[in-house]
Amino acid sequence: MKKTPRVATALLLAVLAVLAAACGKPGSPPAKGPRGDELPKYQVQTRFQLTDSPTWQQAKRRGHLVVGVKEDQPYLGERDPSSGAYRGFDIEIAKMLSAALGFDPKSLTYKTIASANRETAVQNGQIDYYVGTYTINDLRKKQVGFAGPYYMAGQSLLVRKDEQDIKGPKDLAGKRVCSAAGSTPYQRIKADYPKAVLVAYDTYSVCVDNLLTFQVDAVTTDDAILLGYAAKAPDELKLVGKPFSEEPYGVGLPLKDPALRFALDDALEVAEKNGNWKKAYDATLGLSGVPAPKPPRIDRYR
Ligand code: GLU
């Protein structure tokens, strides 16, 4: 049957309606999780060898890598409680590095490790490397090695939507401020804003619960983390002020394994050049509303 113009128009409209429903309307809240179909596929480097890395050697004997991550940071490191699956930008970084080291990302074993326990987890060999909003700094560099940085975040503040008094860190005097124990944001408030009443928990999600139930007045950590919580509860939460630190994210690994560190630096650089880094970002952290930045320069420090 030959389609009349009217039938064709009706068909087109129907197709458009289906497409619109699938894509979400402009201005609608971000999708609930990373879009799995748009995640990069990482080519496993099956012939890869790194014989002078003790960590790599041990993983080879074991048959897979063990990585430390976060499980409660939207778009960065999130664990689905029903399936147990991990997803987010940090998880993608962990996967791309696994593939570069010759291990199928599907074989990765994830361990959730809180901010305060990262150094010990790396030092005790509980994990091969750690990818979880982990700021590179000189103090930590004495305890673990860092590949990267692969992303630059900055400390910020999350408050309830109706908060009027807190516009920046200077307004925190006498306010209850929550952060994670063992984190750089916690340390910075303690050192630079001593009049704030600091409250520490193991994780930021507990801080956010405390904010929503009026137990604290603000949550402080990296903007990348806070944007995720705000995107999931846009009617209840907002970020305020400008970022007031630089938090270069690195991949934590055993201190005495420079071969592994430089191999991970290489792998990050390759992913930044071949588009995988941006593709991973767009499908994960990009969903909290910030377009992909240019990744920071890899620092192969000696
Ligand atoms: N990037 C900061 C840190 O490494 C805060 C985020 C976190 O605790 O993971 O301490």
> pLDDT of 239-272, one tens digit each?
999 999 999 999 999 999 999 999 999 999 999 9
Residues with CB under 6 A from ligand 1: 115, 132-135, 180, 183-185, 221-222, 247
Which residue, by CA, sits nearest to atom 10 of ligand 1? 183
Residue 227 lies in a domain: yes
Residue 296 lies in a domain: no
- Considering the domain architecture, whether residues 89 and 67 belong to the same structural domain is answered as yes
* C-alpha span between 68 and 94 (Å, rounded): 9
Helix intervals (H) in the chain: 5-23, 54-62, 89-100, 118-123, 138-141, 184-192, 204-212, 223-232, 258-273, 276-283
pLDDT for 32: 53
Better-scored residue on pLDDT, 299 or 13? 299
Q: For the chain, how many structural domains are there in total?
A: 2
3-state secondary structure 220-247: EEEHHHHHHHHHHCCCCEEEECCCCCCE
- CA angle (227 as vertex; 112, 211 as ends), nearest 5: 80
Whether the per-residue pLDDT at 36 is higher than 80: the answer is: no
- Considering the domain architecture, whether residues 172 and 281 belong to the same structural domain is answered as no
Which residue, by CA, sits nearest to atom 1 of ligand 1? 135
| Mean per-residue pLDDT, 22-36 | 46
pLDDT in tens, 69-124: 999 999 999 999 999 999 999 999 999 999 999 999 999 999 999 999 999 999 99
* C-alpha span between 272 and 294 (Å, rounded): 9
Residue whose structure tokens are 């910030």: 290
Residue 134 Cα: closest atom of ligand 1: 4
Q: At residue 196, what is the residue type? A: A
Residue to mutate, 133, 141, 188, ligand 1, most ligand atoms under 8 Å from C-beta: 133
pLDDT for 28: 42
* C-alpha span between 255 and 53 (Å, rounded): 11
- Considering the domain architecture, whether residues 138 and 161 belong to the same structural domain is answered as no
* C-alpha span between 226 and 134 (Å, rounded): 15
pLDDT band at 15 (very low <50, low <70, confident <90, very high): very low
- What is the CA(25)–ligand 1 centre distance, in A? 34
- Considering the domain architecture, whether residues 63 and 13 belong to the same structural domain is answered as no
- What is the CA(20)–ligand 1 centre distance, in A? 38
* C-alpha span between 87 and 70 (Å, rounded): 10
pLDDT band at 23 (very low <50, low <70, confident <90, very high): very low
Domain containing residue 252: CATH number: 3.40.190.10
Residue to mutate, 247, 249, 251, 285, ligand 1, most ligand atoms under 8 Å from C-beta: 247
How many helices (H) and strands (E) the chain has is answered by 10, 13
Domain housing 76 = 36-153+246-288
- Considering the domain architecture, whether residues 253 and 234 belong to the same structural domain is answered as no
Can you give the pTM of this predicted structure?
Answer: 0.89
- What is the CA(267)–ligand 1 centre distance, in A? 23
Residue 183 Cα: closest atom of ligand 1: 10
Residue 298 lies in a domain: no
Determine the 3-state secondary structure of 154 from DSSP.
coil
